[in-house]
Amino acid sequence: TCSLLRSPKGFPKLKNDTFLRAARGEKTEHTPVWCMRQAGRYLPEFRETRASQDFFATCRSPKLCCELTLQPLRRFPLDAAIIFSDILVVPQALGMEVVMVPGKGPTFTEPLKEVEDLLKLRQKVDVTAELGYVFQAITLTRHSLEGKVPLIGFSGAPWTLMSYMIEGGGSTTMAKAKSWLYRHPEASHRLLRLLADVIIDYLVGQVAAGAQALQLFESHAGHLGPELFQDFALPYIRDIAQAVKSKLKEVALPLVPMIIFAKDAHYALRDLAHAGYEVVGLDWTIRPQEARAQIGKDVTLQGNLDPCALYAPKEKIGELVKKMLESFGTQRYIANLGHGLYPDMNPEHVGAFVEAVHAHSRHINKH
């Protein structure tokens, strides 16, 4: 249960550190598994908890975030929890208004249109004042997990957040945001730098609050080609890893494993392997052996089952998982989907995925 806030000190002892060991490249008995969007609408209890509340009001309630984070762990033997939140809390911290429109998704009431609009953003963000509710949710959840599994914190990456802030919501082409990269490169870098600075403080704050690993979501990487990615995404991805680590050292906080998930960026895997992250997350559009060849042996891989595979019958899910584990190998590997769970998925099939990862990886490790 998610009751009463305790201090970030004296967290319960971690009982299952398989996910952290895999992230650091240490040997594991079984391959750890978690799912992006594991706290989500595919669970009836999630829909029930969320029913009466506005989406972002839920994000601002540490107690509700804690409850939603724990729900999947009550059902499935997952090896990690990820805090329930949203990547768009960062643009909100910069002073932008975002509302969740039913059937449409997140919508910015006033997206950035002109370069001058950058002046409307907060140039200095006190993350504790603006995003303290996320830190409280992390601390509360870390206690409420009772050491069952590690807790992952996360943020969107600068380009992905920039694209939302300019598009004003989802987009199939990202044409408005990409036009900034071509027409206003300097202003684009100013915005990306501002976002990166906030993200760095935000991620360090999450570790201070109790996060035991961090994932950076570059969800819109696929809209950039190799050149634009090289200029406008990669430098900030690198910088975030480096700055977070040096700040954690400075304030004597644990150096937690960091995961970079750049969706549809197979053209950049070699660069991402050297960007300073312990783990590189993969979507389902790349062959495991190819990813391993490009990324090398010193970085853990995470992914990459096609989320739609969970629509298959349970036996078929087991077969696909076995094949995935044989392709990646069971070590230096964290099983996951290649993207988040979809709202109409059957929870029993999610359970079948999790159990198949444990069963097949144990079997492969024994033989």
* Matching residue, tokens 């144990």: 362
Active site residue 164: yes
State both tokens at 180: 């900034």
Residue 81: its H or E element: strand 81-82
- 311 a catalytic residue: no
Q: Which stretches within the chain are classed as H helix? A: 18-24, 44-50, 55-59, 62-75, 89-93, 127-144, 158-167, 175-183, 185-209, 226-232, 234-250, 269-273, 288-295, 314-328, 347-366
Is 37 designated active site?
A: yes
Active site residue 133: no
In contact, 65 and 137? CB cutoff 8 Å: yes
The catalytic residue among 24, 86, 133, 193 is: 86
Annotate 93-107 with b (16+ C-beta within 10 A) or e (fewer): bbebebebeeeeebb
Of 21, 37, 60, 142, the active-site residue reads 37
For helices 127-144 and 62-75, what crossing angle results, to 10°? 40
Q: Which helix (H) or strand (E) holds 258?
A: strand 258-262
CA–CA dist 81, 19 (Å, integer): 10
d(CA 280, CA 259): 6
- Let me know if 193 is a catalytic residue: no
Give me the catalytic one of 164, 236, 277, 333.
164
Catalytic residue among 24, 41, 193, 362: 41
Check 50, 142, 292, 332 and give the catalytic one. 50
Residue numbers annotated as active site? 37, 41, 50, 86, 164
